[in-house]
Structure 1
Amino acid sequence: MFADYSAAELTSIFAMQGFAGLSLFSVFVLMALGLAIIFGQMGVINMAHGEFMILGAYVTWLTSGFFSSHLPGLFAVYFPVAILLAFVASALLGGAVEWLLIRHLYKRPLDTLLATWGLSLILQQAYRSIFGAREVGVRMPDWMMGSYAITDMIEVPINGLFVMGISLLTALGVYLLMYRSSWGRKVRAVVQNRPMAGAVGINTQQVDRVTFALGCGIAGIAGSAFTMIGSTGPTAGQLYIVDTFLVVVFGGAQSLLGTIASAFTISQAQSTMEFFLSGSMAKVYTLLVVVGILMVRPQGLFASRIRH
């Protein structure tokens, strides 16, 4: 596989594929952060998580079209606005889903899996009916186009750097919210001992709803990042849901640091192997390695320090 390349060419290939994987890493880490909050903190298996991501992507597409048609002079700054709107739209839908459906299924993981899988099918059909079956693409501002040339053979895409920055800022915000705020302490108290948390005055139902909405909102941000690497269609979210669960389990279901490390490892491995192999074989080899590691370390890269 490597015999046909010189050492200098291999170095450039690994560097280029590594930078090309930045956008994939951004989508993985944002999707996995939202899923880690919902699955790791609440024990809910949300099979519709990809559809919340696609809602964010469609909101980004709509925002792009609105600015292009009605505010062309401000088109250069539409993307930050789209990220905020994507978060709000996905979080509001997530809060509604928790109130209408999820709150009745806590401590019933199989039921939540089936219910959210059905929800994903409903949302896919809703997107198909509202936006059409054809995939749509987002027009990027001029300042996000192009790349920085590091060497004659290595270039870094500007949009990849921007989206990675959004991902890291989101991860930092989640860390501060979960581990440096009073709301985060309430979440951890509910996770550790729900009856005791309720006994000391914590509104556990409100904590559940806000936590679920936050996880879905972060998936909406992932949808904005997704528009940088692919076109948006009604079923596009299902392409990432398995990889996202893999990232969460591999990193440790309740570890934010583990989620980021796992997302980076898996995205870079897939991006590099896809250059030498087909996309499907890259996923197969990545899955085999991850499964092998989990057999030795079933708790993931970083063990949970919350549940007892």
Structure 2
Amino acid sequence: MFGDYSIGDLSSIFVMQGFAGLILFSVYVLMALGLAIIFGQMGVINMAHGEFMILGAYVTYLCSSFFQSHLPSLFPIYFFVAMGLAFLASGAMGMLVEWGLIRHLYKRPLDTLLATWGLSLILQQAYRSIFGPREVGVELPSWMMGSVQVTDTIEVQINGLFVMGVTIVITLGVAALIFYSRFGQQIRAVMSNRTMAGAVGIDTERVDRLTFGLGCGIAGIAGSAFTMIGSTGPTSGQLYIVDTFLIVVFGGAASLLGTIASAFSISQTQSTLEFFLSGSMAKVLTLLAVVAILMLRPQGLFTLKVRR
């Protein structure tokens, strides 16, 4: 596999694929952060999480079209507006879904799996009816185009650097929210002992609704980032949902550090193997490696001690 390349070529390949893996890692982290919050705190298996991501992608596409047509002078900053609107749209729909569907299915994980899988099919058809079956792409501002030349053989894309910057900011923001805010304390209290949290006056239903909305809103931001690395279609979210669940389980449910470490490991492995092997074979080998590790450590890379 490596015999046809010199040491210099391999070094450049690993650096370039490592950077490509970081872009994939950014999308994975944003997707998995939302799913880890929902699954870790609420025990809800949200199979429609990919569709919340695609809602954010479609919102970004609509913003791109609107600013191009009506506000061309502000087009260079439209992406920041699009990310905010994607968060609000996905978060609001998430809260609506929690109120109308999920709250009736707590402590029934298989039912939430089936219900959210059905919801994903409904949302896919809704996207197909509204936006059409063909994939769409966004127009990026000129300052996001191009690349930075690092060496003679290595260059990095500017939009990739932007996505990684957004991921760092969102991750730090989520960590600050969970560990240093009053709402974060309420989330951790409900996760630790729901009954006791309710007994001391925490509105557990409100915490659940806002938590589900937060997780879905982060998925919406992941959808905005996704538009930079791929086109958006009604079923695009399903391409990432399995990998996202794999990341959450591998890292350890409810562990923020585990989610980040898991996303980095899987994205880098997958990106590097895809260069030397086919994409499907890279996924198979990555999955086999993760399964082998989980057989030795079923609780994942990191785990929290939770009172039951």
User: Same fold per TM (> 0.5)?
Assistant: yes
Q: CA deviation at 1:307?
A: 4.5
Q: Does 1:249 align with 2:249?
A: yes
SS of match in other structure, 1:46 = coil
Match of 1:180 in 2: 180
Measured in 2, the distance between the counterparts of 1:306 and 1:119 equals 30
| 3-state SS of paired residue (1:218) | helix
Q: 5 Å matches for 1:193-212?
A: 193-212=193-212
Q: Contact between 1:23 and 1:228, CA under 8 Å: does it hold in 2? A: no
* Partners of 1:304 and 1:5 in 2: CA distance: 44
TM-score (norm 1): 0.99
C-alpha spacing 1:159/1:268, structure 2 compared with 1 (3 Å) = same
**Greater shift in the superposed pair: 180-189 or 81-90:** 180-189
Counterpart secondary structure, 1:5? coil
Q: How big is each residue's C-alpha offset from its partner over 1:83-120, in whole Å with a ceiling of 9 and x where there is no partner? A: 00000000000000000000000000000000000000
Question: Does 1:96 find its partner at 2:96?
Answer: yes
2:122 equivalent to 1:106: no
> Does the 8 A contact of 1:34 with 1:214 survive in 2?
yes
Q: Give the distance between the partners of 2:233 and 2:20, measured in 1 at CA.
A: 22
Q: Counterpart of 1:236 in 2: which secondary structure?
A: coil
* Pair 1:135 & 2:96 matched: no
Q: Distance in 2 between matches of 1:170 and 1:293?
A: 29
Structure 2 unaligned spans of 5+? none
Give the superposition deviation at 1:191: 1.3
Q: Is the 8 A contact 1:254 1:306 kept in 2?
A: no
Q: Does 1:168 align with 2:168?
A: yes
SS at match of 2:30: helix
Counterpart of 2:140 in 1: which secondary structure? coil
Give the 3-state SS of the residue equivalent to 1:156 in structure 2.
strand
2:36 corresponds to which residue?
A: 36
Corresponding residue of 2:119: 119
Aligned to 1:304: 304
Task: Measure the CA separation in 1 of the matches of 2:100 and 2:71.
Answer: 37
User: Aligned runs of 1:137-286 on 2, under 5 Å?
Assistant: 137-286=137-286
Asked whether the 8 Å contact 2:193–2:307 carries over to 1, the reply is no
Counterpart secondary structure, 2:156: strand
Task: Give the equivalent residue in structure 1 for 2:80.
Answer: 80
How many positions carry a matched residue from both structures?
Answer: 308
SS at match of 2:106: coil
Structure 2 length-normalised TM:
0.99
- SS of 1:152's equivalent? coil
CA distance in 2, matches of 1:28, 1:191: 23
CA contact (8 A) 1:16 1:156 kept: yes
Which segment drifts farther, 15-24 or 135-144?
15-24
Q: Which runs of 4+ in 1 moved over 4 A?
A: none
Please tell me the residue identity of whatever aligns with 1:156: V
Deviations 1:22-57 (A, max 9, x none): 221111000000000000111000000000000000
1:16 maps to 16
Equivalent position amino acid for 2:281 in 1 = M
- Structure 2 distance, partners of 1:269, 1:77, is 34
* Distance in 2, Cα, partners of 1:303 & 1:95: 27
Aligned-residue offset at 1:168: 1.1
- Are 1:290 and 2:265 counterparts? no
Distance in 2, matches of 1:307 and 1:142, equals: 51
- Structure 1: give runs of 5+ residues left out of the alignment: none
SS of the counterpart of 2:148? strand
CA distance in 2, matches of 1:106, 1:69: 45
Structure 1 residue 305, shift from structure 2 partner? 3.2
When the two chains are superposed, the root-mean-square deviation of aligned CA atoms in Å is 0.8
Deviation at 1:306, TM superposition (A): 3.7
Letter in 2 for 1:7: I
Work out the CA distance in 1 between the residues paired with 2:260 and 2:13. Answer: 24
**Any conservation in 2 of the 1:21–1:268 contact (CA below 8 Å)?**
yes
